[in-house]
Amino acid sequence: MPIKLSDIAAEFGGRVVGDDGVEISGVAKIEEAQEGEITFLANPKYTKFLNETKASAVIVPLDVTEAGDTPLIQAENPYFAFLKTVVLFHPPQPLIAKGIHPTAVIGEETEIGQDVSAGPYVVIGRRCRVGSGTVLMPGVVVGDDVRIGSDCVLHARVSIREKVILGNRVVIHDGTVVGSDGFGFAPEGGKYHKIPQVGTVVIEDDVEIGASTTIDRATLGETRIKRGAKLDNLIQVAHNCSIGEDTVIAAQAGLSGSTHIGSHVKIGGQVGFAGHLSVGDGAMVGAQSGIHKSVPSGQMVFGYPAKPHSEEFRIQAALRRLPQLLKEVKDLKQRIQGMEEALRK
């Protein structure tokens, strides 16, 4: 059903420039949008598309005031405005039929809240609690003594191991494992002996975790992912780590044991952290970096091993001149030798 441009703008308090009665029937990326669709401009890389787009309207930052004849909606935060617009055209759909599928196996003394949906072949252990409105997709396996809050979504085949605690509105994508044993073995007599991993994992409210990520339980105590943190796919979080509030971690990054990440930290893909480190609030870690020592609050680091951004940048620039430098020094050496001989005469 088409929505008027003025109604879209009202969703996020945007200001229409041009005809606010245009009817919009969908949302698309700027380079793919067709007539009747709305698009947005948040990444400056895409500005070149602004005058070429076939879209019938564009959400833009406040400093963009015209784009030919195309009506605009100016927004303080165009990316967030885009989010609101997507929701308008794609209201959330239930992923699965309501209720508990008859094949779901639920252990003794487990309490299931109101309006919980559990798909086929879900397995929930003994003495668990599942909060109201939570959705467990097919094949989810929950161990004994687990607590899951309200309005969570556990996608297909997620594993929640024994004693783990999840807050409210936690979303976990397919195949992710929460609470697998930490990697702890004591060497003795030339062999490794397993250290029982008797701690747990706590995932606080509003955390989202991608697919096929692994979060190990603590040896003792807990591994903790704090409120609002967002983790991508294929990430490793080792035993006894903590990840701060509103921190984002891109795919395939890995944390070794007992490393603590502050709040509002941004971590790129494939970054690796050694163990027993701390990363301060608001730090930023470039993709693929290797972090071997603690990072102060607010610092930007990258590289392998990681260094402060400006230092690593200078080193990388210098590196490109290194082969030439070797030649130059060889040449200087000969000139010095020549002069030394001249002076000796």
Q: Is 335 in the site for its own copies (CB under 8 A)?
A: yes
- Beta strands 3-4 and 23-24 are antiparallel
Annotated catalytic residue 260: no
- Of the pair 67, 137, the CB lying nearest its own copies is at 137
d(CA 228, CA 234): 19
- Of the pair 114, 320, the CB lying nearest its own copies is at 320
State the minimum distance, in angstroms, from the CB of residue 293 to its own copies. Answer: 12
- Beta strands 117-118 and 135-136 are parallel
Backbone angles phi, psi at 67, to 5 degrees: -150, 70
Q: Please pick, from the candidates 71, 112, 166, 173, the single residue that binds its own copies as defined by CB under 8 A.
A: 173
Q: How many residues bind its own copies (CB under 8 A)?
A: 116
By CB under 8 A, what part of segment 243-262 binds its own copies?
246, 248, 250-252, 254, 256
Q: Is 300 in the site for its own copies (CB under 8 A)?
A: no
Mind giving me the DSSP string for 126-179? TT-EE-TT-EE-TT-EE-TT-EE-SS-EE-TT-EE-TT-EE-SS-EE-TT-EEE
Q: Is 340 in the site for its own copies (CB under 8 A)?
A: yes
As given in the structure block, the two tokens for residue 331 are: 């040449």
Q: Please pick, from the candidates 6, 25, 110, 180, the single residue that binds its own copies as defined by CB under 8 A.
A: 180
Q: Is 100 in the site for its own copies (CB under 8 A)?
A: no
Residue type, 291: I
Q: Is 54 in the site for its own copies (CB under 8 A)?
A: no
**Taking phi first (over 0 means left), then psi (-120 to 50 degrees means alpha), and beta for anything else, what does residue 139 get?**
left
Instruction: State the binding string over 133-152 for its own copies (x if CB under 8 A, else -).
Output: ----xxx-x-xx--------
Among the candidate windows 3-11, 52-60, 65-73, 231-239, which touches its own copies by CB under 8 A?
Answer: 231-239
Q: Please pick, from the candidates 72, 238, 243, 283, the single residue that binds its own copies as defined by CB under 8 A.
A: 238
The arrangement of strands across the sheet holding 117-118 comes to 117-118, 135-136, 153-154, 171-172, 208-209, 230-231, 248-249, 266-267, 284-285, 300-303, 306-308
Q: Is 204 in the site for its own copies (CB under 8 A)?
A: no
As given in the structure block, the two tokens for residue 294 are: 């603690």
Q: Is 29 in the site for its own copies (CB under 8 A)?
A: yes
